[in-house]
């Protein structure tokens, strides 16, 4: 076997991420005023896409055990019955790793994205993704997904792990 394949995070943009999901971010061009112009609303940045009969739920995920880079990716998961969103509840370093929906996935299919520190993401249903990692204990993320943890998570172990490298720029 040769050395472990590596993946370098690229900057998260809505265009680059479009095949995998939505970027939840406040981009000035999309704002509408609300509440007598005391606020601007960046509307419908993500739309929940859930199987009929499933409710959307709002949860919080809090990091107990921070990860560090380089990080060995050996496990991916997908949620076939609905979209899943993660939004940081305070500015933080955040990396997401994804691969297009499909029955199989290999290390060659992976794309890694580093956020600007405030962006959140919503994965389209079925999109393979690295389970959430964070780099600081106590970091909290709001999670918006389907209320069906039992039948809504497939996992796959990569035949060959991939090494997630430090991004060129941290936020």
Binding region for a copy of itself (CB under 8 A): 24-26, 31, 33-50, 55-67, 85, 87-91, 118, 120, 122, 131-134, 140, 142-144, 147, 149
Q: Which is nearer to a copy of itself, 4 or 91 (CB)?
A: 91
Q: Which is nearer to a copy of itself, 36 or 104 (CB)?
A: 36
Task: Report the alpha-carbon distance of residue 141 to residue 118 in Å, rounded.
Answer: 11
Report the nearest approach of a copy of itself to the CB of residue 16 (Å). Answer: 20
Report the nearest approach of a copy of itself to the CB of residue 152 (Å). Answer: 13
Q: Which is nearer to a copy of itself, 85 or 98 (CB)?
A: 85
Q: Which conformational region is residue 149 in: left (phi greater than 0), alpha (psi within -120 to 50 degrees), or beta?
A: alpha
Beta-carbon contacts of residue 164 (< 8 Å; ≥ 6 apart): 6, 7, 9, 69, 70, 71, 72, 73, 95, 97, 112, 130
3-state secondary structure of 78: strand
Report the nearest approach of a copy of itself to the CB of residue 52 (Å). Answer: 10
Q: Which is nearer to a copy of itself, 60 or 159 (CB)?
A: 60
Report the nearest approach of a copy of itself to the CB of residue 4 (Å). Answer: 20
Longest dimension (CA), the chain: 63
Q: Which is nearer to a copy of itself, 1 or 44 (CB)?
A: 44
Pairing label, strands 128-129, 95-99: antiparallel
User: 139 is written with which tokens?
Assistant: 């970091």
Task: Report the alpha-carbon distance of residue 68 to residue 144 in Å, rounded.
Answer: 25
Report the nearest approach of a copy of itself to the CB of residue 148 (Å). Answer: 11
């Amino acid at each position: 076997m040769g050395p472990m394949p590596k993946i370098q995070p690229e900057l998260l943009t809505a265009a680059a991420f479009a095949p995998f999901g939505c970027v939840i971010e406040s981009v000035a061009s999309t704002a509408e005023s609300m509440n007598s112009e005391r606020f601007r609303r960046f509307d419908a940045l993500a739309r929940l896409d859930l199987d009929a009969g499933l409710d959307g739920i709002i949860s919080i995920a809090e990091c107990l055990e921070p990860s560090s880079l380089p990080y060995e990716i050996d496990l991916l998961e997908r949620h076939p019955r609905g979209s899943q969103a993660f939004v940081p509840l305070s500015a933080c370093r955040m990396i997401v790793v994804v691969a297009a929906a499909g029955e199989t996935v290999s290390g060659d299919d992976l794309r890694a994205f580093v956020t600007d520190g405030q962006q959140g993401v919503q994965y389209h249903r079925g999109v393979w993704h690295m389970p959430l990692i964070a780099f600081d204990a106590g970091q909290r993320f709001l999670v918006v997904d389907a209320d069906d943890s039992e039948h809504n998570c497939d996992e796959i172990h990569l035949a060959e792990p991939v090494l997630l490298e430090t991004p060129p720029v941290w936020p």
